[in-house]
């Protein structure tokens, strides 16, 4: 029961943080199209991304929708089949990836693009969003869990 709560709350929280941040950037703080808010090491700048990470697959929204849906389905099935084998860190990681993928899927499904808005000023890196951040944190946590599992064997 505790594991189900972790999964559900993490997916929901991740999805809601992503949605609320995108709504805030698009509708409340930045009605102008090319507004940039410089915070020093990061800037908030709205970008409409019709592709995937690092600008690849631009304009391939249908493919990315199907791919995202398959990832979501795979992760749900994986968690259902393996929930007893997963520890809390692995569960949290997969739930973050699931919530982030669902956030970007939502954008592509309803708008035809993903709203990106976080720009790192100290490195040449593509603009990204909270969903992307959660997906990457989830991947890092999975590698951390795998590495720590190998250390204990």
Q: Is the dihedral of CA 69, 80, 131, 26 positive or negative?
A: positive
Q: Given 18, 107, 124, 132, which residue is catalytic?
A: 132
Q: Given 38, 107, 116, 124, which residue is catalytic?
A: 116
Is 116 one of the catalytic residues?
yes
Is 18 one of the catalytic residues?
no
Number of Cβ atoms within 10 Å of the Cβ of 55: 13
Tokens of 54: 């690092």
Distances (CA, A) of 56 to 47, 49, 50, 52, 64: 15, 10, 9, 5, 11
Catalytic residues, which ones?
A: 116, 132
């Amino acid at each position: 029961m505790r594991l189900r709560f972790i999964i559900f709350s993490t997916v929901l929280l991740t999805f809601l943080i992503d949605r609320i941040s995108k709504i805030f950037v698009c509708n409340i703080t930045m009605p102008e199209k090319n507004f940039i808010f410089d915070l020093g090491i990061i800037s908030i700048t709205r970008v409409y991304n019709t592709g995937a990470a690092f600008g690849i697959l631009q304009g391939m929204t249908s493919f990315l929708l199907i791919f995202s849906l398959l990832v979501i389905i795979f992760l749900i099935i994986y968690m259902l089949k393996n929930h007893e084998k997963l520890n809390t860190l692995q569960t949290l990681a997969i739930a973050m990836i699931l919530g982030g993928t669902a956030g970007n899927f939502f954008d592509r499904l309803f708008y035809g693009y993903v709203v990106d808005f976080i720009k790192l000023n100290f490195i040449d890196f593509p603009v990204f969003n909270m969903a992307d951040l959660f997906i990457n944190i989830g991947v890092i946590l999975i590698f951390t869990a795998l590495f720590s599992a190998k250390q204990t064997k």
